[in-house]
Structure 1
Amino acid sequence: MNPPSRLRRLAGVGSRFLVVGALSTLIEVGVFNLLVYVWGWDVVTAKIVASLVALVNAYIGNREWTFRHRDRRGRTSEVLLFLATNAVCTALGAALVWVGVEIAGALLGRTPGAIAVNAVNLTSIVIVVLLRFVLYHGIVFRVTKKD
C-alpha cells in the first residue's frame, strides 16, 4: 500500500475512532458527574465506574464500525485484549484525575469545584484516548499479516 493510500485509510479509521470516542466520552462524563455531584461518590471511584460503563459502547462501536475491516482473532482473545488495554487505560485515567484534583486543590487552596474537576477529567480523557488509539490499532484490532 502506498503512503498516501495508507494515510487516507489511517485518517478514516482515526475519524471513526474519534466518533466512537466522543460518544463514549459523553457517556463517561455524564456518569462521572451523576456519581460525583448527584450521589456524592469520590472522584477516583466515580472515574473508574464511569470508564467501565463507557467501555461497553467503546467495544461495540470500535469492533463493529471503526475496525470492522480488521480480521477477527477470536472473540474471547479480542475481548481479553480489549479489557486488559482498558484496565491499563482506566487506571491511568483514574491516576491522572487523582493527581490533577490534588494539584488543583493545592493551587486553589481549597477543594476544587465542578469546573476544575471536569477540566481535569477531560484532560485525562484526551491523554487516555491517544493511548487507546495506539493500543487498539496496534494490538487489540490489529491486521493479521498474511504470508
Structure 2
Amino acid sequence: MPAAFLPALRARFGALVRELSKFGTVGGIAFAIDLAIFNVLLQLGMESLLAKTCSTVLATTVAFAGNRFWTWRHREHTHMARQYTLFFLLNAVGLGIGLTCLAISHYGLGTIWPEFQTPLADNISGQFIGTAVGTLFRFWSYRRFVFGGAVVPEPAPPAPPVTAPVVAPGTAPQSAPPTAPRAVPRM
C-alpha cells in the first residue's frame, strides 16, 4: 500500500511545486509593475494609499491574465466572467492586507516616529511586508476559489514499444515459470 501511495504523493507535490513556481513568476512580474507604478505615483505627489490602490489594480490585471492562461491553464475555465470577478474580489482582500500594513506604518507608527512616513518606509511596509502577507492569502484563495475547477488531464505520453527479449547466440531463451494447470469445469 505505501509503495503505491508514494508515486501519487510525488505527482501531487510536483504539480504543487509547478503551480507555485508559475504563480511566483506571474507574481514577480505583477510586483515589479506594482512597485514601479506606485513609486511613479508617489513622485507625482499622489497620496500613499491612493497610489497603492491604483498600482495594485493595474498589476492585478496583469496577474489575472498570467494566472488564468499560464499558472492554472490546466484547470477548467468555463465561467471567465465569474473567475474575473472572484479574482478581483479576492485580490481586493489581498489589497486590504497590503493597505493595512501601509496604514499601520505610515499613519500609526508615523505619528510617533516621522521616519515611518518616508517613501522608503512606505515601500517596506506596503510593498514588501503587505505584499508578502497578501500573496500567501492570494495563492490559497485563487487556487481554491477562482481556479479550483476540475483539472483537465494532460495527454499521457505514448507507451514505449514492446520489444522481444534479445537472446544471445548459443543460449537458450528463458521460459516462463511453470504455472499450475487450470481447472476445467465439468459439464
- With structure 1 as the length reference, what TM-score do the two structures score? 0.90
Q: 2:117 aligns with which of 112, 115, 135?
A: 112
**Structure with the larger RCO, 1 or 2 (CA within 8 Å, 6+ apart):** 1
What's 2:73 paired with?
68
Measured in 2, the distance between the counterparts of 1:132 and 1:67 equals 14
CA RMSD after TM alignment: 1.9
Which residue of the partner structure matches residue 80 of structure 1?
85
Identity of aligned residues (%): 26
Name the residue aligned to 2:180: none
* Cα shift readout 1:19-59 (whole Å, capped 9, x = no counterpart): 000000000011111111x2111111111111001011101
1:128 and 2:134 correspond: yes
Structure with higher Rg: it is 2
Mapped partners of 1:75, 1:109: distance in 2? 46
**Runs of 4+ in structure 1 displaced over 3 angstroms?**
none
2:50 is the alignment partner of 1:45: yes
| Number of residue pairs aligned between Structure 1 and Structure 2 | 145
Amino acid at match of 2:64: Y
Q: Which residue identity lines up with residue 23 of structure 2 in the other structure?
A: F
Task: Give the unaligned 5+ runs of structure 1.
Answer: none
**If the length of structure 2 is used for normalisation, what is the TM-score?**
0.72
Q: Which runs of 5+ in 2 are unaligned?
A: 1-6, 153-187
Aligned positions of 1:2-13 closer than 5 A: 2-13=8-19
Give 1:101 shift: 1.8
Q: Which has the higher helix share?
A: 1
